[in-house]
Chain A
């Protein structure tokens, strides 16, 4: 902690007021850094002791340039850890730093209490330091180039983890062995309902029986290819099954471990920022702000909540929390309210339920962005806050508003948030064509993969799997299989896509 005495005073005050509202956080350590230091920390993803890699150097170059040219600056960094670490920029004005401190406490509360964070390692500061040490040792043993190449490959798959997998029990029954006999497995039977003879074709229609039989076959087939079914957690899958040398395994494990740590932040961006913004706003306006600082505060706030072409998570999150608070304060929820179709009554609906505060605390506990939007983005909200869907128009070469239709907006928003914005790629066959080749399948929902990257990423998978690998995906309605044998990538159309 190296806050100025003035800020330190404010920090204590803010902490106490925040606790008074029921915010609950780990001890938070504030560090004041100059822009070079904060850029360094940011380039390391918040962990000053992270493992060495050129990508951090590249990020640094961009951050430094962005700052020097006055294009961007980092206001604050908070690390989900126990104790929480928060970095402030020393060149910020006092108002800004007060605001940031309040904001930080919002984040810390969210880290500690949101369920999606419940499995994250709260000693990540130490863990990354250990990773750093280990990677440096491996560099000494294996040589810079080998280690770097492998990390490049592993990092290229860093978004291929199962974001929600931590919460699914018994993901993969590998514990026994791949070679387990089928006999020991419990066979799902094709159940026939009891019936009289003349009812037989109605009670057990042959079509249904046949369909069920096929499905069971299919499941068995799938199970044989990959017991436990398709695996979304590609990194975890490779850790368990790829023929890795020990040092490779360690590096892959490090990359996955850190990716898993960052995963909850990826799936709660809107909520997390919204929550922190909600609280810094409340604390600043109601308690901390000095009269002389109002204009500066408003200026910063306007920047934070700016509308841009991209959705601003700070703004959307804050507005959703405010909306929820308001609705639950006035009792605008539940069957009775939903059923009411008299405009006047709806507009003046107020049961004085005053459950708003409780409701937003509940949200911050149980939701992630997808479930949050799904649950609380109402048609009314969508119109009031002017949400729209845009699309790139190739003719005018610009992005244009397509529609403000609520259903379309919501669906689009949910789509882009689903799976943290990454495509779902699963390992489906570990021994394709009985040749020890790995078969991946992209679960194509609505969008194609970026083709050139798909190929080079596939090459990286091949580098880890050390046998040919394949990925099945769709390109413009055609089912396509990309293959890579480690040297060369090939693509092959294998049929028409059937969108279900």
Chain B
């Protein structure tokens, strides 16, 4: 049964959605949403939406309590009031609301005006879904379609002349019965893979990694919304590259030199091994502070990109995080080499506030 209050609840959710949209920039730059992710939902803390009243300032309010203790003893363990009667003017409450990840992606999309992605490849991966839209003559009683059954019985009785308008009793017989049944609906689904590559050399500090992490989260959210079948691969590299899991990707701290080509080579290999067929939409993302070992390695990278990675990728994205040590040379080299080839996107991320713009750089093309 639908509850009457459902409408009010929906209205409230709408307001919450508005708040999230308004504060999206803040959520993104603070990285507040990371680690709050469930399977399909994410728990977002928003300041209590309250109507203001003329009330007393409750923060410093005296009060009367009951119990043991000497003057000077704390009233309660922590600085917080208990549950129960709260609400009546307790200062800053936050509200945890669960939002569907898809919903969050939609908000991101609206805010950044992201175009939907036009997938490549044949959508030959088909998801089958059962929908109860059909009618059959046999089935379990629990699925009996009353209206249709009635109609059949009515038709038959009229045809047989046993229908009496004065006493319109309709008695269905076995043949009149109709049952709901399912039809299989085939939905084409595209497959996609994101390959995250990150430079973990000595010059990438905690803050730089955090920025990458936040950006990766939002890119992931968006692409997951666009492709139902999304896989992710994580690669870290310094002078050598290796594949890691998500946790390691964000927490690993290596040091030493940087050879970007190692990552590109590994990326290429993984794609060839596992995501070789043309049905895959491939999104390699590479984050680094722009320092490469040598100009020679950079030309290897450019060669790899031009000959191998770009032709098979939907788009190759390079995000350059600003760090105290990085020279930022790599982005310049790439921009120079590829000019306005729109298969390769580069973006600079100066600080946390720049994340939003960078997301737009990458996803704004709809590829």
Min CB distance B11 to A, Å, is 4
Chain B hits for A202, CB < 8 A: none
Q: When the two chains form their complex, are residues B66 and A385 in contact, meaning their CB atoms are under 8 A apart? A: yes
- Measured between beta carbons, the chain B residues less than 8 angstroms from A402 are 62, 71
**A49, A159, A388, A396: the one within 8 Å of B54 (CB):** A159
B53 touches A158 (CB 8 A): yes
CB pair B54–A60 under 8 Å, yes or no, is: no
Would you call B15 an interface residue if the criterion is a C-beta within 8 Å of the partner chain's C-beta atoms?
yes
User: In the complex, are the beta carbons of A457 and B53 less than 8 A apart?
Assistant: yes
Q: Does A130 contact B (CB under 8 A)?
A: no
**A60-71 Cβ-contact flags toward B at 8 Å (1 or 0):** 111001100001
Asked if A412 contacts B62 (CB within 8 A), the reply is yes
Is B5 a contact partner of A60 (Cβ separation < 8 A)?
yes
Q: Given A402-B71, A425-B54, are A309 and B10 also a contact pair (CB < 8 Å)? A: no
Instruction: State the CA gap A399–B97 with chains docked (Å).
Output: 29
Given A312-B66, A400-B73, A403-B71, verify A43-B5 contact (CB < 8 Å).
yes
Docked-complex contact A57 and B52, CB < 8 angstroms: no
Restricting to A361-402, which residues have a CB under 8 Å from any CB of B?
Answer: 385-392, 394, 396-402
Across the interface, B64 reaches (CB within 8 A) one of A392, A416, A448, namely A416
A60 near B8 with CB under 8 A, answer yes
Q: Are A392 and B67 CB-contacts (below 8 A) given A53-B8, A308-B82?
A: no
Pair B63/A412 contact, Cβ less than 8 Å: yes
The number of residue pairs between A and B whose CB atoms lie closer than 8 Å in the complex comes to 193
Q: Which of B83-91, B178-186, B244-252 contacts A (4 or more CB under 8 A)?
A: B83-91
Residues of B within 8 A of A315 (CB): 66
Q: Interface residues of A toward B: which range?
A: 35 or more
Check B137 for interface membership: any CB of A closer than 8 A.
no
Q: How far is the CB of A74 from chain B (nearest CB, A)?
A: 11
The smallest beta-carbon distance between B58 and chain A, in angstroms, is 7
The smallest beta-carbon distance between A311 and chain B, in angstroms, is 5
Kindly identify, within residues 75 to 101 of chain B, every residue whose CB is under 8 Å from any CB belonging to chain A: 75-76, 78-79, 81-85, 88-89, 95-97
Q: How far is the CA of A422 from the CA of B89 in the complex (A)?
A: 10
On chain A, the residues within 8 Å of B62 by CB distance are 389-391, 402, 412
What's the minimum C-beta distance from B234 to chain A, rounded to whole angstroms? Answer: 33
The yes or no answer to B133 lying at the interface (CB within 8 A) is: no
When A389-B62, A400-B75 are in contact, do A449 and B57 touch as well, CB less than 8 Å? yes
CA distance A196 to B76 in the complex (A): 70
In the complex, whether B129 has a CB less than 8 A from a CB of chain A is no
Main secondary structure of the interface of B (DSSP, over half): loop
Interface residues in B1-53 (C-beta closer than 8 Å to A): 3-5, 7-15, 49, 51-53
Interface string of A117-151 (1 = CB under 8 A from B): 00000000000000000000000000000001000
B12 pairs with A457, CB closer than 8 A: no
Is B339 close to A, CB under 8 A? no
Asked if A152 CB lies within 8 Å of chain B CBs, one says: yes
Partner of B84, one of A155, A158, A308, A388: A308
Whether A307 pairs with B79 at a CB distance below 8 angstroms is: no
Q: Does A213 contact B (CB under 8 A)?
A: no
Contact of B65 among A55, A390, A442 (CB under 8 A): A390
* B56, A423: Cβ atoms closer than 8 Å: yes
CB-CB under 8 A from A157, the residues of chain B are 53-54
Q: Which residues of A contact B (CB under 8 A)?
A: 36-37, 40, 43-44, 48-49, 52-58, 60-62, 65-66, 71-72, 148, 152, 155-160, 307-313, 315-316, 385-392, 394, 396-404, 409, 412-413, 416, 421-423, 425, 442, 447-454, 456-457, 460
> Which residues of B are interface residues toward A (Cβ below 8 A)?
3-5, 7-15, 49, 51-76, 78-79, 81-85, 88-89, 95-97
Report 10 cross-chain contacts, Cβ distance below 8 Å, ordered by A residue: A52-B7, A58-B95, A155-B51, A309-B65, A311-B66, A389-B62, A401-B72, A402-B71, A453-B54, A454-B54
3 nearest CB pairs, A to B: A57-B12, A57-B8, A57-B9
